Structure 1
Amino acid sequence: MTIEFFLPMKKVPTTTHQQKQVTVVNGKPVFYEPEDLKVARAKLMAHLGKYVPEKRYNNPIRLYVKWCFPITGKHTNGKYKHTKPDIDNSQKLLFDCMTDLRFWKDDSLIVSLIAEKFWAELPGIYIKIEEV
């Protein structure tokens, strides 16, 4: 089973899962999501919700993710983006959202990941999932 789709977004989320915060309540650490992380999660969940497969993946998968950021400055369409956010940090929030939506049993099923960042005239996130 293979699915692929593009999530067009005027502003691709740059908030990452690593931005979770910690506070101390009654002498114990409590982790929480700051407002910008909650907004990014909600945006991803809303866009991804349209593409949840009828049957979730239960076998190893290869995941292709192309982060397409709006062009700024002298950058041109299709050129690699080598500035923040770090690509590895961007993946975690995306994986968590896709797991919560039941794209797959667990993101440990991702055995192959091809992730890239580009400048793009049409910003958004391209995703392809295939069983291996």
Structure 2
Amino acid sequence: MPLKKVPTTTHQQKAVRVVNGKPVFYEPNDLKAARALLMAHLGKHVPEKKFTGPVQLIVKWCFPITGKRQNGEWKTTRPDVDNSQKLLFDCMTDLGFWKDDSLVVSLIAEKFWASLPGIYIKIEEV
């Protein structure tokens, strides 16, 4: 999925406010925008048939090169690679890639600086 701007907002950035003495969780605008971007791009790649058994995902987050970075160099700055997966998985579940993201039994997730930014995703039944 080539993307000019790879989302850096993560699912952990949900916010909370108190209404009538009770906490109410909500998505800030930047999280809503990241979700909409992922849904729009992932929507083009939904499989005809949902995965119903265990799957392995390989996810490569390719961020646009900044400064003196090199194409393919590991990205060691935020967002954390583990935090990036939750929003991606939630979007893929909502779109119907699988019955539930609990079917992901193996995950290889990496992040790089890249001349062609985007998110590479490979799904295989295991």
Do they superpose with TM above 0.5? yes
Matched, 1:54 2:52: no
Residue 37 (structure 2) aligns with: 43
The structure 2 residue matched to 1:66, chosen from 40, 60, 67, is 60
Equivalents in 2 of 1:106, 1:24: separation in Å? 31
User: What is the letter of the counterpart of residue 109 of structure 2?
Assistant: A
Residue 18 (structure 2) aligns with: 24
Residue 100 (structure 2) aligns with: 106
**TM-score (normalised: structure 1):** 0.94
RMSD (CA atoms): 0.5
Matched, 1:124 2:118: yes
The structure 1 residue matched to 2:87, chosen from 93, 96, 103, is 93
Equivalents in 1 of 2:93, 2:23: separation in Å? 25
SS in 2 for 1:11: coil
User: What is the letter of the counterpart of residue 88 of structure 2?
Assistant: L
User: What is the letter of the counterpart of residue 66 of structure 1?
Assistant: K
Which runs of structure 1 show a deviation greater than 2 angstroms over 4 or more consecutive aligned residues?
none
Matched, 1:80 2:74: yes
Unaligned residue ranges in structure 1 (runs of 5+): 1-6
Deviations 1:85-107 (A, max 9, x none): 10011100000000000100000
SS in 2 for 1:91: helix
Residue 3 (structure 1) aligns with: none
**TM-score (normalised: structure 2):** 0.99
